[in-house]
Amino acid sequence: MERFKKIVRKTENKFDAVKFKVKDALNLFDPVIIYPYRGFANQNKAYLHGRVIEKESIIHDDNDHLPDNLWTNLKKTWKRYESDEVPGVEITGELHGFKTKTVSDKEGYFTLEFHGLDEQHMSNGWHEVQLEITNMPFDLEYEREAVGEVLVCEQDNPFGVISDVDDTIIVSNAMHSIKRIFTMMRNDAQSRTPFEGVANLYHALIHNYKNPLFFVSGSSYNLYDMLVAFCEHHNIPKAPFFLRDLGLDTEQWIKQDTMPYKVEYIEQILRAYPQLPFILIGDSGQEDPEIYKKIHEDNPGRIQAIYIRHVHHDERKEELLNMAKSLDIPFLVMDNSKDALDHAKKMGWA
C-alpha cells in the first residue's frame, strides 16, 4: 500500500509540473491571488492560514447572480477541486503594526504566525490582517494585496464552542458516500439544508462573540467558500474553520482518519486558550463522540459539556446514552437543536 501511495504521489507531482509548463508556454495562467481563511488569536499570538492560487471567478468573485442549479454547481465543484496552487510565494502579513512573513508550500498553503502582540490592541472580536505578496518567483500576473481576519478571544470569557459541520449544522448525509457526493454536486450554499434551530442555538451560546466559536470539520479546504457562504446565508455565526487538506502526501493520503486530525486541531485550540473551558458539539454519525470523550479525558477540567446530534440508528443512540453515564460532565444526545438550547439555558450558558 505504501509503495502504491508513493507511485500515485510521484505521478501527481509529475502531472502538476507538466501542467505548469504547458500553461506557462501557452500563457494560460489566471491572475494569482492570496486566498486567506479566517484565523484565530489570543491576546499575544495570532495564526492565519491561507492559500496562494489562481483566481477562479466562479468561486472567488461575488456570484449571487448565478442560478443555483445543477450545471452551475457542477462547475463550482469542479473548479473547487481543480484549483491551481502556486508554491514558493512569499507572503507578508501585518496585524496592528506587527509584521511576519512566510512562503507558500508545494500545495500553495501558507500559515502566518504573529508572536508578542500588544494586549491593548487585541480586544475580543474580529481583527483585520493586511496581506501582501512580497516575492513572486514566477512571471505571473497577480493581485498583490488581500485582507484576512482573525478572531481574538480574551480568556476571561465564560467558555468557547467547538463544533463539527457535516450533519451537525448542515445536512450532509456523511454516512452515505453516494448521497453525500450527490448533495455536494447538486446543492450550493443557498440550497444546502441547515438543521432546524442551529442559528438560534449558536447565537445563544456565543453571546455576540463574547464566547468564541470554532468549526472543526472533515470537509476539505476546497469547500471553504461554500461553507462560509452557507453560514452567512443561514445566519449561523461567523467563525474560523479548521478543515482538511485533501492530497496525496503521506500525511494527507486523500482522506486521513478523522480522529487524529480532529484531535490535533482541538488540542491546538485548547493550547491557544489554556484558561478557557469549551462546549463540544458534534453528531453521532461518525467519530465525534469518541473524539470528544478522548479530549475530555486527556484535558481534565477543560470540557464543560458535550452535545451530540443523533443522526444514526437506534443502536448507536443507546451506545451513546451508555457512554454519557460514564462521564462526569453533561453529555447530551439531542434529537434537535432545541434540546441543546433548552439544556444550555437550564445551565445558564444561553
Query: Across all residues in the chain, what is the average pLDDT?
Result: 85
pLDDT tens-place string over residues 221-246 = 999 999 999 999 999 999 999 998 76
pLDDT at residue 13 above 70? no
- Output the CA–CA distances (angstroms, integers) from residue 350 to 68, 125, 206, in the order listed: 35, 19, 8
Per-residue pLDDT, 81: 80
Q: Which of 3-7, 195-199, 300-304 has the lowest mean pLDDT?
A: 3-7
pLDDT at 258 over 80: no
Residues 184 and 176: their CA atoms lie apart, in Å, by 12
pLDDT of residue 126: 95
Residues 334-350 have a mean pLDDT of 96
Question: Rounded to whole angstroms, how far apart are CA atoms 330 and 335?
Answer: 16
Dihedral sign (CA 342, 344, 348, 350): negative
Position of cell 498583490?
Answer: 144
Average pLDDT over residues 258-268: 89
Quickly state the pLDDT bin for 174 (edges 50, 70, 90).
low
Backbone φ and ψ for 184, nearest 5 degrees, come out as: -65, -40
| Residue 310 scores a pLDDT above 80 | yes
Q: For domain 31-152, say whether CATH 3.40.50.720 is its number.
A: no
pLDDT-derived band at 252, boundaries 50, 70, 90 = very low
Residue 349's pLDDT band (cuts 50, 70, 90): very high
The radius of gyration computed from the CA coordinates of the chain, to the nearest angstrom, equals 21
User: Ramachandran region of residue 211, left (φ > 0), alpha (ψ -120 to 50) or beta?
Assistant: beta
Q: How confident is the model over 296-311, as a mean pLDDT?
A: 96
pLDDT given for residue 8 in this prediction: 39
Does the pLDDT of residue 179 top 60, yes or no? no
Report pLDDT for 16.
Answer: 54
Q: Domain spans of the chain?
A: 31-152, 160-347
Check residue 70 and give its pLDDT: 73
User: Cα separation of 147 and 46, whole Å?
Assistant: 15
Note the pTM of the prediction, 2 decimals: 0.86
* CATH no. of 160-347: 3.40.50.1000
Are 209 and 186 in contact by the 8 Å Cβ rule? The answer is no
Q: What share of the chain in percent tops pLDDT 90?
A: 63
The pLDDT of residue 261 is above 60: yes
Would you report the helix, strand and coil content of the chain in percent, each value rounded to 5? Answer: 35, 25, 40
How confident is the model over 60-104, as pLDDT tens digits?
Answer: 887 666 777 777 777 877 888 888 899 999 999 999 999 999 999
For 20-29, what is the mean pLDDT? Answer: 57
DSSP letters for 266-298: HHHHHHHSTT--EEEEEESSSSHHHHHHHHHHH
Q: Which has the higher per-residue pLDDT, 152 or 245?
A: 152
Amino acid found at 168:
T
User: Does 184 score more than 70 pLDDT?
Assistant: no
How far is 7 from 13, CA to CA, in rounded Å? 10
Cβ neighbors of 137 (< 8 A, separation 6 or more) are 88, 89
pLDDT at 148 over 80: yes
User: Which of these, 328, 286, 282, lies nearest to 304 by C-alpha position?
Assistant: 328
Where do the DSSP E strands lie in 79-121?
A: 90-95, 98-103, 109-114
pLDDT of residue 149: 98
